[in-house]
Amino acid sequence: MITTLGSMGTFAEAGLSECARANMDCMPGFGTFLFLFLLTLFTIGMALAISMSATLAIVLARPGVLRGALWFVAVWTAPLLGAGAWFLSERRRAAGSLRGESGGEPPPDNLTTTVG
């Protein structure tokens, strides 16, 4: 749309308002960009949540300094693979200790048993 303002000359209206009036796609590819941007944010958020969850599980399991440090490195360098490996190894270790297999750690010394 062209507007004349007295002696100022002629100004042309431009921008998104023209696109909206003409019902045009003025930003081709914006939908794809927005989708990929939101997908990236979601993926980063999930990776952080999974890494934090695995980190908390490692701290609570008290695996030892060296083993814990290696698991931290694995979890934070490859969040999905590292956390998945941690949870699988802990699940196997817990299942082995339930079956009576040695999990590599001796039982606590302060265990008391009561015979009823």
pLDDT tens-digit series, residues 44-69: 999 999 999 999 988 898 888 898 89
To the question of pTM greater than 0.75 for the whole model, the response is: no
In angstroms, the CA 28 to CA 85 distance is 42
Helices (H), ranges, 29-78? 30-61, 65-77
Q: Are 74 and 106 in contact (CB under 8 A)?
A: no
Residue 4: its H or E element: strand 2-4
In angstroms, the CA 93 to CA 104 distance is 9
Residue 82: its H or E element: helix 79-98
In angstroms, the CA 102 to CA 107 distance is 9
Q: Provide the pLDDT for residue 35.
A: 94
pLDDT tens-digit series, residues 60-108: 988 888 988 999 999 999 988 999 898 898 888 877 766 665 555 555 5
Interhelix angle 30-61/79-98, rounded to 10 degrees, is 30
The gap from C-alpha 98 to its chain's centroid, in whole angstroms, comes to: 32
